[in-house]
A and B are shown apart, each in its own frame.
Chain A
Amino acid sequence: MDFGEFLSSRSSEILFAAAQHFSLVAQSVVLATVIAVAIAALVHRSSLGRAAANSVSAVGLTIPSFALIGLMVAPFGFGVKPAVIVVVFFAALPILRNAIVGLAGVDPALVESARGLGMSRLGIFFRVELPLAWPVILSGVRVSAQMVMGVAAVAAYVLGPGLGGFIFQGLSRLGGAGAIESVVTGTVGVILLALILDLLLLGLGRLTTSKGIR
């Protein structure tokens, strides 16, 4: 069985898995962005908070994703739930770090100027701090999207959705017919999805970043 045959015979299965994979990553990244920005918003004003958040994100990134996803099986069982939790966890870490850097980089004089105009705390965050920190946050989102594409593949270990299934199936019967093709399909698929998502995020950045700070 050559590679073309493998692709054509399982095309619908591949496309479905790719869509599942993409949707898992995209939704997890959105959720992670909201969580990370919210945490950063709460802690970025205190130096202690900033230091704590930075350590969490540094240490968190050293946890092997395979180990963490395995640990999630005990409390959450198999399936989508542990997969989402792990992907969101890893996605949030680079975003958190960048959000803190971005928010801390907002000129304090501008924040004071905003207070001087009579903006509320919430108004200052959404209309001044967040838009100014947005390019930095978004570059964190892009890093995290790339990273969790791979993490999401590992989620197949707990029977989560996505292209990871092809990789695990192939690896488990290495030497058998179509095993290599299966692994390659999964891996290349993940890379392609990562590229597509990165392009989309680049476009999103263009649309959502003010011309004044580009």
Chain B
Amino acid sequence: MTDSDPRTQTTAAAESASGVASGRSIFLDAVTKRYPGQKRPAVDGVTLEIPEGQVVMLVGPSGCGKTTTLKMINRLIEPTEGRIVLGGEDVTTINGDELRRRIGYVIQAGGLFPHMTVAQNVALVPKMLGWDKARIAERVEELLELVGLDPDVYRSRFPKELSGGQQQRVGVARALAADPPVLLMDEPFGAVDPITRQRLQDELIRIQQEVRKTMVIVTHDFDEAVKLGDWIVVFREGAQIVQYDTPERILAEPADEFVENFIGSGAALKQLGLRRVREVEAADAVVAHAGGNAAEALRRAEQAGHNHAVVVDERGRPISWPSRRELSRMTRLPTELDPALPVVGSGATLNDALDTMLVSSAGATLVTGRGGVFEGVVDVETIMDAITMARQSAAERSSEAPVGTNTGAVDVVIDDEGAAVTSPQGSARDD
């Protein structure tokens, strides 16, 4: 579990205007893809605004056109109609190869070239851009560290000598090599096992906090979309946009039955995955030191009206959580770590916290902060309250929500500073 929260971060980035995010906005203007011999277009007049420095997830059933939409952003698939605007620049007709060098692209399993070493794979785009050797070597080092691979160990390995998760990391490093403002990912974590997938997702959240790119990620896994996305676009066949909103909003207010079905059961439970333990208020507890006097701890717990006391070691890390009854039976407080102690980090999601409580059957869990130091106690009621509040606040829609429709009825003016200004007319999502 990482100590990151992309949501508060990106909100902060949005608030400080454009200065912080290194990403660029993307604007698809009534983009259509028709294949010869097919009656219905694969993608039908999609108008989609992707704010800079944010993570936008494209989800939908297979064959709905989400991958086609993604590939039209870097023109791997050339749109039949419409315009693509990248950071205010119309890139619909510029050289496709040059455009793609400015946009990172990651596919399932990384798409590494098996005949090249990790370093050679990562160095590809900088080489094409004509960087000198020293700069490339330095950049490779920096990127491998960013994705959590020791450069000295992995630099000269070949892809076949890496695990699936490591290959995926190198794929991300390669896509970031020339520091592109935009990163596109096509089902990036589809080919790895669930545990590795979760680790890679956490890693991506951390990396995004550092690099602040504009990311567009295709997935068919709604839970992944909720976890990674600042915004989620739900597509149905023909790349019809059903809903384009924050994960909170989509969970709380699905636009129609299609979205509801797509979310699957347990929308409220999924919201638990959106909030972090540190966002809820942890209750105080009676804290005593390991090896201390048990009677004294019992007296303090009684005074405070608490049923339990938290025993911490010399560095403030919780090791045991005895009840008053247990305290009354001991003379010295325990010094050994209780293996069944329910503990979560403050960066954990409420989902993890609830899971910990259920496993330990304690109805509450201890929360630790930096260095594993005890911070407080969170119980089931706290989590219930947090969810109720979240649902209420999600009901109010942000006025800054980006545009996403299939009507194409949006005026786009490229202003003097080169930023695309959009004014939605008859958005598909008027409420």
Contact = CB atoms under 8 A, between A and B. Distances in A.
Interface residues of B, number: 27
Given A118-B98, A118-B100, A132-B113, 11 more contacts: A109-B107, A110-B113, A115-B76, A116-B76, A116-B105, A116-B184, A117-B101, A118-B101, A118-B125, A119-B97, A120-B97
Contact of B116 (A109, A120, A212): A212
Q: Which of A116, A128, A210, A213 has the most CB of B within 10 A?
A: A116
Contacts of B117: 212
Interface residues of A, number: 19
A13 interface: no
Contacts of B124: 117, 119
11 contacts: A109-B109, A112-B111, A115-B97, A116-B105, A116-B184, A118-B102, A118-B128, A119-B128, A131-B115, A132-B114, A212-B114
Interface in B158-177: 158-160, 174
A134 B124 CA distance: 20
Residue among B76, B102, B114 with the highest chain A CB neighbour number at 10 A: B114
B159 A212 contact: yes
Nearest to B102: A118
Interface in B212-241: none
A-B residue pairs, 9 tightest by C-beta:
A113-B111, A116-B105, A212-B158, A118-B101, A210-B115, A118-B100, A131-B115, A118-B97, A212-B115
Contact of B108 (A109, A119, A132, A210): A109
B192 interface: no
A86 to B, nearest CB: 35
B282 interface: no
* Residue in A115, A120, A132 whose Cβ sees the most chain B Cβ within 10 Å: A115
Contacts of A118: 97-102, 125, 128
Contacts of A120: 97
Nearest to A113: B111
B74 interface: yes
Nearest to A212: B158
Interface in A102-157: 109-110, 112-120, 123, 128, 131-132
A211 interface: yes
B125 A117 contact: yes
Contacts of A128: 113
Nearest to B98: A118
Interface string A148-177: 000000000000000000000000000000
Given A210-B116, A213-B115, A115 B158 contact: no
Contacts of A119: 97, 124, 128
A109 B100 contact: no
Nearest to B161: A212
Q: Which one of A118, A119, A120, A213 has the greatest number of beta carbons of chain B within 10 Å?
A: A118
